[in-house]
């Protein structure tokens, strides 16, 4: 008899999907992925990287590293768009409301992304990784956005033969 892996719960499932989305990232510092979900249905995805059609940090190098800017500060000095921003942009491009949705992200948001998520009226934010900026906590609390930290999902994908 073979061992059957436990079925992931819904939060682990979508966090695992966010982790796969992060593999598309072109950021040299953090591979971050995000998935917006409502009623167990994926609305949009996003990953950290340069604007569409622009040269990215994999090609040009990291401007923040070159200038010695520590993580969690001076986000405006970056070629990249954050995963959470790309989730919101994709929703706007495709006419999808994120109101009441859950955003699953590989890292907690910077304050800029947190403000955008508040205005997008998400209901929950689920993550397993911490970014170097905790300013989002008070902002999300004030906006009534539920935040949950979960364990990192297993990297292995289990298939039945």
Task: Report the C-alpha gap between 87 and 46 in whole angstroms.
Answer: 5
Catalytic, out of 59, 84, 99, 142: 84
Query: Does residue 23 carry a catalytic annotation?
Result: no
Backbone angles phi, psi at 35, to 5 degrees: -135, 125
Q: What does 83-134 look like in DSSP terms, one character per residue?
A: HHHHHHHHHHHTT---TT-EEEESSPPPHHHHHHHHHTT-SEEEESS--S--
Exposed e or buried b per residue across 83-107, where buried means at least 16 C-beta atoms within 10 angstroms of its C-beta: bbbbbbbbbeeeebebeebbbbbbb
Query: Residue 74: exposed, middle, or buried by beta-carbon count in 10 A (0-12, 13-18, 19+)?
Result: exposed
Give the residue numbers marked as catalytic: 84
């Amino acid at each position: 008899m073979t061992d059957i892996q436990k079925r992931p719960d819904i939060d682990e499932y979508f966090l695992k999907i966010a982790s796969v989305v992060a593999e598309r990232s072109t950021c040299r510092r953090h591979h971050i992925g995000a998935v917006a979900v409502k009623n167990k249905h994926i609305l949009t995805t996003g990953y950290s990287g340069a604007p569409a059609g622009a040269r990215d940090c994999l090609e040009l190098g990291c401007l923040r590293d070159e200038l010695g800017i520590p993580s969690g500060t001076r986000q405006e000095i970056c070629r990249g768009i954050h995963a959470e921003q790309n989730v919101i942009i994709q929703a706007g491009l495709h006419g999808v409301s994120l109101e009441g949705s859950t955003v699953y992200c590989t890292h907690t948001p910077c304050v800029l992304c947190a403000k955008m998520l508040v205005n997008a009226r998400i209901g929950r934010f689920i993550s397993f990784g911490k970014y170097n900026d905790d300013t989002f906590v008070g902002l999300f609390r004030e906006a009534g956005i539920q935040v949950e930290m979960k364990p990192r999902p297993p990297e292995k994908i289990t298939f039945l033969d």
